[in-house]
């Protein structure tokens, strides 16, 4: 028996990944840039055993159906192939993040699965190799290998598409991300389906791609210069452009709800009142607010008037993927 257990944290993109050039290999259309967070994470154990006749997948202590298990099996096949291993596995995963609600469970979940499988199989991967493997499970997962800021360099092939960490001289520790959880139920349109529909049908998709390089350049410069306002402005702009593309898809759709609008309007109002803060949104209705840590308390006070305390979650910059155990019995 070989087992590995890891913890991987979620990340939220400041410059979004939205669209694939290659569906099977998960090569993206554009680079993306993210911040790994401490408040939401996944712990996954993978145990390969001679006694099993098929893979088993438990998520939050519930045995999963054949469809969910097949996704995990297909991913494990990639790790098994690297190790020349033919054993089946039991996967036990705990999400300390709502699953499929636009809070990046696929980022922490698939990074944890990649890390646990490679620890169990003693693949001894470099961060770049682990990032490449995690990418095959979910694109955003390739950024969760790193703590702090990370950029997924889209590359042109399986070998060249992976994320790298971005050194930021402690700037990441001056930041907070406040989550306004307006709905933690599973979304109707997965990130995967939403972005594919957009690439294939949205008249605005070309416009999205056009401005990503300049937004990335602005974000990298803002990080290098520890310029919070510049980083916040480009973060908000990237999210709005990404969400704009879905409105022009066929059939059209949006991840926004009335509560999302309420949170975004409140952020604008708080900003106009003099507190610098900026929102971003992913494939779901929840709103994330980037703020300087020194202004975190003031922002929370302003949010408390409009949202219940349990809807508001404070996150700070999170660490890289962590190995919790590696055993052979």
- Using an 8 Å Cβ cutoff, are 56 and 90 in contact? yes
Among 192, 226, 262, 316, binds ligand DP6 (CB under 6 A): 192
C-beta of 200: minimal distance to ligand DP6 in Å?
14
Residues that bind ligand ADP (CB under 6 A): 42, 44, 59, 71-72, 93, 95, 99-107, 109-110, 113, 138, 190-191, 282-284
For residue 207, what is the enclosing H or E element?
Answer: helix 205-224
- With respect to ligand DP6, which residue has the nearer C-beta, 69 or 198? 198
Residue 30 touching Co ion (CB under 5 A)? no
Residue 191 touching Co ion (CB under 5 A)? yes
Residue 133 touching ligand DP6 (CB under 6 A)? no
Among 42, 69, 191, 317, binds ligand DP6 (CB under 6 A): 191
Compute CA distances 205 → 74, 233, 241, 255, whole Å.
Answer: 30, 21, 9, 16
Q: What is the Cα–Cα distance from 280 to 287, expressed in whole angstroms? A: 6
User: Which residues within the stretch 93-112 sit at the binding site for ligand DP6 (CB under 6 A)?
Assistant: 106
DSSP codes of every residue in 96-132: ES-TTSSS-HHHHHHHHHHHHHHHHTT----HHHHHH
C-beta of 72: minimal distance to ligand ADP in Å?
6
Within 10 angstroms of residue 301's Cβ, the number of other Cβ atoms is 11
Q: What is the Cα–Cα distance from 44 to 99, expressed in whole angstroms? A: 14
Find the part of the chain contacting ligand DP6 (CB under 6 A) among 16-24, 35-43, 113-121, 123-131: 16-24
- With respect to ligand ADP, which residue has the nearer C-beta, 17 or 162? 17
Compute CA distances 250 → 18, 188, 193, 200, whole Å.
Answer: 16, 16, 12, 9
Chain position carrying tokens 């050194």: 167
- With respect to ligand DP6, which residue has the nearer C-beta, 104 or 266? 104
Task: Give the residues lining the site for ligand DP6 (CB under 6 A).
Answer: 13, 16-18, 26, 32, 106, 138-140, 191-192, 282-283
């Amino acid at each position: 028996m070989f087992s590995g257990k890891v913890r991987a944290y979620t990340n939220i993109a400041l410059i979004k990944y939205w669209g694939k050039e290659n569906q099977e290999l998960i090569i993206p259309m554009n680079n993306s840039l993210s911040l790994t967070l401490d408040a939401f994470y996944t712990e996954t154990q993978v145990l390969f055993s001679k006694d099993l006749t098929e893979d088993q997948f438990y998520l939050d202590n519930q045995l999963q159906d054949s469809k969910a298990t097949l996704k995990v099996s297909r991913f494990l096949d990639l790790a098994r192939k690297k190790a020349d291993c033919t054993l089946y596995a039991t996967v036990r995963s705990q999400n300390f993040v709502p699953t499929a609600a636009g809070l990046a469970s696929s980022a922490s979940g698939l990074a944890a699965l990649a890390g646990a499988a490679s620890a169990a199989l003693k693949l001894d991967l470099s961060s770049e190799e682990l990032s490449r493997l995690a990418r095959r499970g979910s694109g955003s997962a390739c950024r969760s290998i790193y703590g702090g800021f990370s950029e997924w360099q889209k590359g042109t092939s399986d070998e060249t598409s992976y994320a790298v960490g971005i050194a930021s001289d402690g700037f990441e520790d001056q930041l907070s991300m406040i989550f306004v959880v307006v709905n933690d139920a599973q979304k109707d349109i997965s990130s995967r389906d939403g972005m594919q529909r957009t690439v294939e049908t949205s008249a605005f998709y070309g416009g999205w791609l056009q401005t990503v390089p300049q937004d990335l350049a602005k974000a990298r410069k803002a990080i290098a210069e520890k310029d919070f306002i510049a980083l916040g402005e480009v973060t908000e702009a990237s999210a709005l452009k990404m969400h704009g593309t879905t409105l022009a898809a066929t059939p059209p759709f949006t991840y926004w709800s009335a509560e999302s609008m309420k949170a975004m309007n409140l952020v604008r109002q708080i900003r106009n009142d003099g507190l610098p803060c900026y929102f971003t949104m992913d494939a779901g209705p929840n709103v994330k607010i980037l703020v300087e840590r020194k202004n975190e308390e003031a922002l929370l006070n302003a949010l408390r008037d409009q949202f219940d305390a349990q809807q508001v979650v404070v996150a700070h910059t999170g660490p890289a993927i962590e190995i919790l155990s590696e055993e052979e019995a």
